[in-house]
Amino acid sequence: MATSQVETVSTGADKAKIGLAIALVIGAVAAFYMLGKQGAVAQWGALIVALAAAVGVFLTSEPGRQFIAFGRDAWREVRKVVWPTRKESIQITLYVFAFVVVMALFLWLTDKTLEWVFYDLLLGWKR
C-alpha cells in the first residue's frame, strides 16, 4: 500500500510569514495603483520594494527554505548533464530538417493523390 506524504506549513510562525508575504504582494499591487498621481518612479519603487520584501519574508519560512533547496538540487542536476558537442548539434539539426522535408513531400504527394482520386476519378470533376 503506497502512502503519499503531503507537506503542509505546520508551524504558526511559518503560517504567519506566508500570510505576511501574501499581504505584502497585495499591498504592493494596491500601492502601485494608489500612487498613480505621484509618478512612475514612486509607483514602481513601491511595487519593487514591497515585492522584494514579500520574497524575503517567504524565503525565511520553511517552504521558502525548501524552495531554495529544490533550486540548489535542480542546479546540481543541470551541471551533471552531458551537453552535445557543436558537431553533434549540427548533425541532429540537419537530420531534423531532412525529416521535415521528407515528411512535407510525403504529405504533399498524399494530398495530390487523394485529390486526383476523389475529384478526377470518382466525381469526374475535371479542372
Name the CA radius of gyration of the chain, rounded. 29
Task: Based on the fold, state whether residues 65 and 39 are members of the same structural domain.
Answer: yes
Contact 67, 17 (CB under 8 A): no
Contact 31, 47 (CB under 8 A): yes
Domain that holds residue 43: 12-81
Task: Based on the fold, state whether residues 102 and 65 are members of the same structural domain.
Answer: no
Contact 32, 9 (CB under 8 A): no
Task: Based on the fold, state whether residues 74 and 91 are members of the same structural domain.
Answer: no
| 45-64 exposure pattern, b = at least 16 Cβ within 10 A, e = fewer | ebbeebbebbeebbeebebb
Residue 5 lies in a domain: no
Mean per-residue pLDDT, 93-112: 98
Q: How many residues can be counted in the chain?
A: 127
**Percent of the chain scored above 90 by pLDDT?**
76
For all residues of the chain together, what is the average pLDDT? 90
Residue 79 pLDDT more than 90? yes
pLDDT of residue 75: 95
pLDDT of residue 6: 58
Residue 10 pLDDT more than 80? no
Four-point Cα dihedral 78, 54, 17, 34, nearest 10: -150
The DSSP code for 60 is: T
Residue 26: name the closest of 10, 46, 45 by CA.
46
- Of 1-10, 33-42, 67-76, least confident by mean pLDDT is 1-10
What is the pTM assigned to this prediction?
0.56
pLDDT of residue 127: 59
Mean per-residue pLDDT, 18-27: 95
Residue 23 lies in a domain: yes
Going by pLDDT thresholds of 50, 70 and 90, the confidence category of residue 9 is: very low
